Structure 1
């Protein structure tokens, strides 16, 4: 009887621990796709709302909050949603300025944010930070996802925002 109790408790604790976790690699990999895929964006947002604990997880929560604004209809609701995600992202960057994922998220949001939102002042600083620090991200799969995103972004960037060949080489380390 006592053994059954401990087995049941162990299974419940295991289920709570395993099913409530965030797969950061998945969030990172699906980030670009979620811009166009409302269901994916909503599913990832809900998961992150319930389980984001680390700085990186909260950064992706902020990113998906911002992306969710794109899928909303009412302009006032969109703006409120965008501001909610932006606020969380900026709070996380203030606490963890050396978090590579946070700087990548802010760079990507500021690169794509409409100019009327006035959210672009950190793009060049974040670009430079990423060029010099992406190689420090301990996750090779994460480095590859971010590098691919940045490299592909070059096709629509202009001026100082374009990654030079030397910068792309530095990013690919």
Structure 2
């Protein structure tokens, strides 16, 4: 029994040592620079569905970003579907976490229409607008604010409300 506890502790320490600010920064960079996608994905390689919902969502995003740069259409589609499954699992696990909704919105906004993964854009946008003022962590607030400022999903009026916060 003691051995089992030690093994479980080692596995959970691997993902607990991830710094959320570093993950956010890596996501932002990877989303805009295809040469950084692999390192973002590697950063989250040990994350599994038992971990924190935010990390699960970012892992899904890393898989979806990898798929975007895959060589064949089949690899692109399969990778995207796998990535989305992690994001949707994170939403099911913790639907009230703003960062999980943010990750889904950013992937949906930037996914090709062909993949038909855009059905929650308005729902997630409204969630972000309603909950933005409740974000306690300045780094997360700035991370989401930076995204909203360049997003096409948000109107100029919505942007001005958020950017004025």
Q: Using structure 2 for the length normalisation, give the TM-score.
A: 0.82
RMSD of aligned residue pairs (Cα, Å) = 2.4
Q: Structure 1: which 5+ runs fail to align? A: 1-12
Change (3 A) 1:123 1:19: closer
Match of 1:72? Answer: 70
Q: Using structure 1 for the length normalisation, give the TM-score.
A: 0.78
Q: C-alpha displacement at 1:96, in angstroms?
A: 0.7
1:102 aligns with 2:94: no
- Partner Cα separation in structure 2 for residue 59 and residue 19 of structure 1: 13
Q: C-alpha displacement at 1:163, in angstroms?
A: 2.4
Q: C-alpha displacement at 1:33, in angstroms?
A: 2.1
Q: Structure 2: which 5+ runs fail to align? A: 1-8
State the Cα deviation string for residues 117-172 of structure 1 (Å, max 9, x = none): 0111110111111011022222111111111111122xxx2xxx332425531465
Please list every run of at least 4 consecutive aligned residues from structure 1 whose deviation after the TM superposition is greater than 4 angstroms: 16-20
- Partner Cα separation in structure 2 for residue 123 and residue 19 of structure 1: 29
- Partner Cα separation in structure 1 for residue 164 and residue 56 of structure 2: 26
Which of 56, 69, 72 is the aligned partner of 2:54?
56
Which of 118, 127, 140 is the aligned partner of 1:120?
118
State the Cα deviation string for residues 75-128 of structure 1 (Å, max 9, x = none): 100110000010111111012111111111111111111101011111011111
Bigger CA radius of gyration: 1
How many residues matched? 154
Match of 1:10? Answer: none
Change (3 A) 1:18 1:94: closer
